[in-house]
Amino acid sequence: MLDLNSIKKAQKRLDGVIEHTPFSYAPILSEISGYRVYLKKENLQRTGAFKLRGAFNKIATLIEEGKKGGVVAASAGNHAQGVAFSAKYFGIEATIVMPDSTPLNKIQGVKEFGADVILYGANYDEAYAYAIEYSKEREKDFVHPFTDDEVISGQGTVALEMIETQDDLDAIIVPVGGGGLIAGIATATKAQNPNIKIIGIASSGAPAMKNSFDSKKAHGTKSVRTIADGIAVRDASPITLNYILDRVDSLELVCEDEIASAILFLLEKQKLLVEGAGAVGVAGLLHNKIDMPKGSKIGVVLSGGNIDVTMLSLIIEKGLVKSSRKMKLSVIMVDKPGSLMMFTELLKEVGANIVHIGYDRTSIDLEFGDAVVSVHLETKGVAHQDEVRAKLNEYGFEFSEIQ
């Protein structure tokens, strides 16, 4: 198993290549959680994620060994961009196999660095299996995203920077998918201060590593389904699991709604764009998954910011509804001149802003002479929505809420 010396060697290779991303205090999150929270903003890293660290360190060691025949990788996106950037830096070819479901922004990010992209498989594990065969057939070096000591060493440099900035941390919270990041961070951290707790957070939609941690034996799952595509790993790696069992204090799960709320929180309150995988640590804090004494000084790794804009818009839309800032109604009214005007006047009286409206008089579910109006409203919270409901009830409108 690798040690602190390997990670410090990686730090030297990365010097001048990566950004030393900010590790700064988060006052609002601290107040909400009851901890003193500092955010390590790897979403601001070159290529948009921490993965550049491990990929660059691995490829740098290949170049040092005289291996310049090109590399192959499998990735849902962030590792792919790290490999593509590093290959371009050293002037070698790179081929990246990505799952069919990979967001377009991540595919484009890889191609912009000059790498070839092959889309294959429903998830990372299927893409990985194909990439292994592809690299063997073409006799190219495969750069694994997490089960490789040089990759893990590169990821561990995140912890070196955190501890250099704040040397009195009580805990570090780390996203967990394949386990490379937490293996590197745990190794670097425990070697310098074994009293710092290392807490992993995984998605309940990809629970392989959590199940393996609990049973102390590597397990796989039949499928994964999570908005945190960066940690959507189906099968736990025995290699990274050994690091986790040896050096990680606890591993918790957060659900999809909790991840989505953390993304929205970071966007609104911290002015940070963070992808699902990068937001799981904050989700753990916001939803009381962290078992530490209140007042503890906690570092949280925001591992990446490469979120698909379509997914982001969906998260924002659902978040507005959940937080009572948007209201969706289906309203039955008499289909006659003036009915719609009366309805919109009532909404005007209670100060609800219409952002979408539809009128249907032909649905087979309607009585003859009726129409159904679907309306989306901007509202100002629970009390305001209660006012809207009361006004519609007062005037006898039949309505239901659309979730």
User: Which one-letter DSSP state was computed for residue 352?
Assistant: P
Residues 42 and 61 in one domain: no
Residues 43 and 21 in one domain: yes
Q: From 123, 142, 161, give the residue that closes a domain.
A: 142
> Which residues are bridge partners to 88 per DSSP?
none
Q: From 107, 142, 177, give the residue that closes a domain.
A: 142
Residues 250 and 353 in one domain: no
Beta-strand pair 171-175/141-142? unpaired
CATH at 15: 3.40.50.1100
Reported pTM: 0.90
Distances in Å between the alpha carbon of 80 and those of 62, 74, 103?
17, 7, 12
Residues 64 and 89 in one domain: yes
- Tens digits of pLDDT across the chain (403 residues): 899 999 999 999 999 999 999 999 999 999 999 999 999 999 999 999 999 999 999 999 999 999 999 999 998 789 999 999 999 999 999 999 998 888 787 788 899 999 999 999 987 778 999 999 999 999 999 999 999 999 999 999 999 999 999 999 999 999 999 999 999 999 999 999 999 999 999 999 999 999 999 999 999 998 889 999 889 888 999 999 999 999 999 999 999 999 999 999 999 999 999 999 999 999 999 999 999 999 999 999 999 999 988 899 999 998 888 889 999 999 999 999 999 999 999 999 999 999 999 999 988 888 899 999 999 999 999 999 999 999 999 999 999 998 7
* Burial class of residue 356, CB neighbours in 10 A (0-12, 13-18, 19+): exposed
Residues 216 and 289 in one domain: yes
Residue span of the structural domain in which 89 resides: 52-142
Residues 163 and 268 in one domain: yes
Q: What is the pLDDT of residue 77?
A: 80
| Cα 292 to Cα 3: distance, rounded to the nearest angstrom | 27
Q: What is the pLDDT of residue 111?
A: 93
Residues 30 and 118 in one domain: no
Q: From 142, 163, 196, give the residue that closes a domain.
A: 142
Q: What is the pLDDT of residue 125?
A: 78
Residues 307 and 175 in one domain: yes
For the chain, the farthest-separated pair of C-alpha atoms sits apart, in whole angstroms, at 81
How many domains are contained in the chain?
A: 3
The answer to whether 68 touches 40, Cβ cutoff 8 Å, is no
- Which residue numbers are catalytic? 51, 303
Residues 6+ apart with CB under 8 A from 342: 395
Residues 6+ apart with CB under 8 A from 236: 179, 208, 209, 211, 212, 218, 219, 220
Residues 13 and 56 in one domain: no
The answer to whether 237 touches 146, Cβ cutoff 8 Å, is yes
User: Which one-letter DSSP state was computed for residue 367?
Assistant: P
Residues 349 and 364 in one domain: yes
Where do runs of H (alpha helix) occur along 113-231? 124-138, 149-165, 180-192, 208-215
Residues 163 and 178 in one domain: yes
Q: What is the pLDDT of residue 54?
A: 98
Backbone angles phi, psi at 383, to 5 degrees: -60, -40
Distances in Å between the alpha carbon of 17 and those of 51, 71, 349?
13, 19, 58
Residues 210 and 262 in one domain: yes
